[in-house]
């Protein structure tokens, strides 16, 4: 049985929503909701932060937390430092975004199942776009798209719409082809996490501002799990308001 360590990178500073992890959502902080959602599914879970206010909040609700450098450029880098400090014999590290308070057990299970294949180095999640999502959702550059091979490995991630249907009207694209939306949940074998954090930024990564392209460009494979669950990530105060409305319709304590 593989042992899975969950790490939730959480920064206080945010251009669009400062102090986001400490924002209140249905009577609990956002970071607490994320922690409670994933704690039931993984062998151990830590918040990795660079801010003492977040550290204090996690300790106050009984969670585990580790302080990390304020100079990391990505959540992956923060995960690796946290993993080193935590120690323990974990086989896989799961990187959970600190602004996804509605992440589901089924999504974590889908990522974990990717590692039943011994060749899996890195895993992530996708959700199919539906016709009901509409063209605007497909075109949204803040929602990266993924194309896969027949082994469920990612071929490429892009903020553009991929593939481009040369001989079809755009109004028919969602009817003709299954497009996949990337869900930013990652898991890495512990030794692979060490390797990818030592890689310099790559040309494709810099072009698209997607760090996973660095891994593909350096020859790593990314296995893809599937989910039908729609979650609400919180990037702005407006997203928090939408999350409050969503919470009223769900069975969350």
Q: How does pLDDT run across 136-184, given as a tens digit for each residue? A: 999 999 889 999 999 999 999 999 999 999 999 999 999 999 999 999 8
- Residue 200 DSSP one-character state: P
- Nearest CA to 55 out of 87, 26, 85 is that of 85
Residue carrying the six token digits 């990795």: 48
Confidence class for position 230, pLDDT limits 50, 70, 90 = confident
Reply yes or no on whether the pLDDT at 231 is more than 80.
no
Architecture of 4-126+180-201+215-248 per CATH? Alpha-Beta Complex (3.90)
Q: How does pLDDT run across 95-136, given as a tens digit for each residue? A: 999 989 999 999 999 999 999 999 999 999 999 999 999 999
Reply yes or no on whether the pLDDT at 253 is more than 70.
no
Strands annotated E in the chain: 4-10, 24-25, 28-29, 44-49, 65-67, 92-95, 122-128, 145-148, 154-158, 180-189, 222-226
Q: How does pLDDT run across 43-61, given as a tens digit for each residue? A: 999 999 999 999 999 999 9
Q: Which two tokens stand for residue 43?
A: 């062998």
Q: How far apart are CA 222 and CA 243, in angstroms?
A: 30
């Amino acid at each position: 049985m593989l042992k899975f360590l969950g790490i939730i990178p959480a920064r206080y500073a945010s251009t669009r929503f400062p102090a986001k992890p400490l924002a209140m959502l249905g009577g609990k902080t956002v970071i607490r909701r994320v922690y409670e959602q994933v704690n039931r599914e993984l062998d151990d879970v830590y918040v990795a932060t660079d801010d003492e206010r977040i550290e204090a909040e996690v300790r106050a609700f009984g969670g585990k937390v580790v302080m990390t450098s304020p100079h990391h450029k990505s959540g992956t880098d923060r995960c690796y430092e946290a993993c080193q400090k935590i120690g323990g014999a974990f086989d896989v590290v799961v990187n959970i975004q600190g602004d996804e308070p509605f992440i589901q057990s089924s999504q974590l299970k889908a990522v974990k199942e990717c590692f039943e294949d011994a060749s899996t180095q890195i895993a992530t999640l996708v959700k199919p776009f539906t016709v009901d999502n509409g063209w605007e959702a497909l075109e949204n550059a803040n929602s990266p798209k993924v194309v896969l091979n027949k082994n469920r490995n990612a071929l490429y991630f892009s903020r553009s719409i991929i593939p481009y249907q040369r001989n079809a009207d755009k109004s028919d694209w969602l009817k003709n082809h299954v497009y996949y939306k990337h869900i930013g949940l990652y898991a890495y074998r512990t030794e692979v996490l060490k390797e990818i954090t030592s890689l310099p930024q790559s040309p494709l990564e810099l072009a698209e501002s997607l760090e996973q392209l660095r891994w593909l460009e350096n020859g790593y494979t990314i296995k893809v799990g599937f989910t039908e669950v729609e979650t609400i990530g919180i990037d702005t105060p407006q997203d928090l308001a939408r999350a409050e409305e969503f919470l009223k319709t769900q069975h969350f304590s």
